[in-house]
Amino acid sequence: MVIFEIDFNSDEAIYMQLRNQIILGIATDQIQEGESLPSVRQMADHIGINMHTVNKAYSVLRQEGILKLDRRKGAVISLDTDKRKALEIMRHDLRVLLAWGRCKEISRREVHQLIDDIYAEYGEQDASVYPDE
């Protein structure tokens, strides 16, 4: 099982921390598509959080097309490939994040370097090459 690290002192909601940890686990190949996550009860016991918190994280991931609930297998990683919707969500989230960065005088070049560095963490060796273009 992937080790999920929750910061109980963080201002970020615990269910969002868990959601983000699962997404990071998928992006770094620690969690594979088709793999079952622990049951809500098992995950709650493993991390030491309330079952309702885990349920909320799983619900958000289901709404985002990251996981499906299967009666026999439980919560299963199943990546919905609705790229248009994903791009709309990213545009919305990035708009605010980039505005925040601009307020902090972070340059376009620095943002691009951050993106390249982060994509490299996910196994994309040369993020400056765009194979889809």
Give the chain's largest Cα–Cα span.
Answer: 51
Residue 132: per-residue pLDDT: 52
Its CATH architecture, for the domain 14-77, is Orthogonal Bundle (1.10)
Q: Is 109 exposed, middle or buried (0-12, 13-18, 19+ CB in 10 A)?
A: exposed
C-beta atoms surrounding 119 within 10 Å: 15
- The identity of residue 6, as a single letter, is I
Residue 127: per-residue pLDDT: 46
Residue 36, token pair as written in the block:
């079952």
Q: pLDDT digits over 2-56, tens only?
A: 788 899 999 999 999 999 999 999 988 899 999 999 999 999 999 999 999 999 9
Region 77-96: mean pLDDT is 88
Domain boundaries, the chain: 14-77, 83-121
Query: Does position 133 have pLDDT exceeding 60, yes or no?
Result: no
At a CB cut-off of 8 Å and minimum separation 6, what does 41 contact? 51
Predicted TM-score (pTM) above 0.75: yes
* Bridge pairing between strands 74-77 and 67-70: antiparallel
